[in-house]
Structure 1
Amino acid sequence: MPAKPFLTIEQQVKLLEKRGVATSDRTGPILLREGYYSIVNGYKRPFIDEQASGKAGDDRYQPGTTFDSIYDLFSFDRSLREITFHYLIRAEATVRTAISYCFADAHRSPDDYLLQSSFCTREEYESYGKDPDNYAEELTKLTGILGRRAKKSESEFVAHYRGRYGAIPIWVLANDLTFGNLEHFFNLMKPPEKIAVCKAISTSTGRLGDRTLGFFDVNTARVSLEVLVKFRNICAHDERLYCARVGGRKDVNYEKMLWMLERYLTRREFYVLLKELLELFQDGLNNNRAVATVLEELGFMELQEEIMRRHAKAS
């Protein structure tokens, strides 16, 4: 299939109009600033007339569709990403501190993270649902990443510590690791240290012994970290969030992710997050009919039901 030809902003506007989208004076400037692909290709789906598109052989939009409606949905998802990212990086910081603290507490030499003996065995790796055939490769990959960061990272704090003290302890190096690196690190920690990480997270967020959430076990941490890392990357890379689904069989939507995120935030942080989300959803419902259709993919009804259930249980 040949590549699509370049279209000027004027041609992009005319193409939208040809396909049934009402435009305005602000359509061109918005397309120039944000990009046709990001807005239209990313957020057209709720507005498409499937039957008319099938007959025409290209996109055709439902009667009454305006460019502003598509852009409003784009803007809604951007706001959703901004709110979500703010709390995901708080969770990331909590995980980073817990992992580095618990590892350093168990391994007192500053460069113990370079030793494969500091991490779990193949059998322990398998016991947590990981493919044992990947064990050696994953362990070599992790220690390689840690070694390169310790020797070559140009991050100010790592370079300063390296120049002044030589070896870089994990509690310094951890600040130069990505959330994905941290997930990788957690999966390869020794079992008692994984348990210690879960306890540290629960303690630091004030959720140790939380009757609503229950016990924070290692398997719950493993699964939730994988999900949070993927959602964090979606937000960081400005990808479409409202319909994102990750995890095994792509069965974790936004609403399910929220309840996983809860464990990594204080109660106050989490309820402020819920308040901000509910305000965003209500504003979207008041101003854009498309938001009503995407709230189902977000798991909005399930979110409301769980909030109501908790309120009833608490009262």
Structure 2
Amino acid sequence: MEQKPFRTFEEQIAILKSRNLSFVNEDAAVDILSTYSYYEIINGYKEVGIARGENYRDGVTFEQLFNLFLMDKKIRSAIAIAINEIEAHLRTALSYTVAKHYSADQNEYLKRRYYEKGNTKKRQSQRTQLLNKCNKILNDSSQPYKHYREHHGNIPPWILVKGMTFGNLITFYKLQMPSIKTEVISLMTKIPEELVTDDLKDMMVNILYFLLAHRNNSAHVSRAYNFKTEKSKIRYTKAFHDRMKISKMEYDNGNGQNGLSTLAFALSWFQTHNSPVASFSFAVTQAIDEYLKLYPSDKGFIEKEIEGPFYIFV
């Protein structure tokens, strides 16, 4: 197995120049490579300028790749901010509804009978895994769990959920009884409870896992503008795809499954105090527009990578 040898910043630039990549300012390029690394910029964003193999098209510059990197960095930040809003809303709506229906007493609201079994993995149901996780949080030595345990003798659900990851939180929602899910959806979307169907409940679980995939991808500082998830892609749901104006046939051809537009429509279902889809779509549109002002000929490439034109939600 061939190992990659160490290269100085100047040697990295020489290699790129040998592959037909131009530089507007080599001194500035050294500063950039010393901050963000060769791998992050070149390996992450070279597709915009590659002609064949490792060689670049005539006229493609290092600065072009770096500006695509900066565009993606802004999009990644917008994704994280928007999904953090949804996560906070889910924590509040779910803990509020659980306490309202079952009590704030941990010995009551964590009874097994209140939760669906879920899938089985490694001979343990999701319910067992979830309750084990909850028990660990109840006995956590950090704050605020220790304070509530020692001074109140109880950890209410709105404190318990603070110890859950977004993935734990989605499982906590997924395993709730149908009536709890209905109320949580209504709180988060402003859809009247009587209009919350089983299809909407399934769609919400799908959306939450789709958001989780994007959040995890962004947390690992991976490419965000063209991120795709096969495992957690948006499944065809009439309500969701009617909103996108995408037919079942168009969906089967790959539309409305992934991409930034699909992410924006997923966010559009939530009615939080601060509209996450409005701020997200504005930030993404601004980032793309700033890049295309510098490199207008890349419009086709960008639209293909993000799976279609992107619009601001208001």
Q: Normalising by structure 1, what TM-score?
A: 0.81
State the identity %.
25
The residue correspondences of 1:65-214 to structure 2 (distance < 5 A) are 65-108=60-103, 109-112=105-108, 114-120=110-116, 122=117, 125=118, 131=119, 136-154=124-142, 156-203=143-190, 208=192
Q: Displacement of 1:157 after TM fit?
A: 2.4
Structure 1 unaligned regions, length at least 5? 54-58, 126-130
Q: Which letter maps to 2:282? A: K
State whether residues 86 and 272 of structure 2, in contact with CA within 8 Å, keep that contact through their aligned partners in structure 1. Answer: no
CA, structure 1 residues 7+133, in 2 after alignment: closer, same or farther (shift >3 Å)?
closer
How far apart are the structure 2 equivalents of 1:220 and 1:71?
37
Aligned to 2:49: 47
Q: Displacement of 1:137 after TM fit?
A: 2.9
CA, structure 1 residues 180+249, in 2 after alignment: closer, same or farther (shift >3 Å)?
closer
**CA deviation string 1:140-175 (max 9, x = no partner):** 221111111221252x32232223113211111112
Q: Which letter maps to 1:279? A: Q
Aligned to 2:303: 295
How far apart are the structure 1 equivalents of 2:214 and 2:78?
12
Number of aligned residue pairs: give it.
285
How far apart are the structure 2 equivalents of 1:245 and 1:191?
30
Aligned to 1:8: 8
* 3-state SS in 2 of match to 1:49: strand
How large is the RMSD of aligned CA atoms in angstroms?
A: 2.8
How far apart are the structure 2 equivalents of 1:16 and 1:86?
35
Match for 2:222 among 220, 226, 239? 239
Q: Displacement of 1:201 after TM fit?
A: 1.1
How far apart are the structure 2 equivalents of 1:215 and 1:138?
20
CA, structure 1 residues 208+7, in 2 after alignment: closer, same or farther (shift >3 Å)?
farther
How far apart are the structure 2 equivalents of 1:49 and 1:2?
25
State whether residues 91 and 265 of structure 1, in contact with CA within 8 Å, keep that contact through their aligned partners in structure 2. Answer: no
How far apart are the structure 2 equivalents of 1:136 and 1:105?
29
Q: Normalising by structure 2, what TM-score?
A: 0.81
Q: Which letter maps to 1:71? A: F
Aligned to 2:250: none
Q: Displacement of 1:115 after TM fit?
A: 3.2
CA, structure 1 residues 252+4, in 2 after alignment: closer, same or farther (shift >3 Å)?
same
**CA deviation string 1:19-59 (max 9, x = no partner):** 11123211111111111111111111121112xx2xxxxx1
State whether residues 85 and 232 of structure 1, in contact with CA within 8 Å, keep that contact through their aligned partners in structure 2. Answer: yes
* 3-state SS in 1 of match to 2:76: helix
Match for 2:58 among 55, 60, 63? 63
* 3-state SS in 1 of match to 2:304: helix
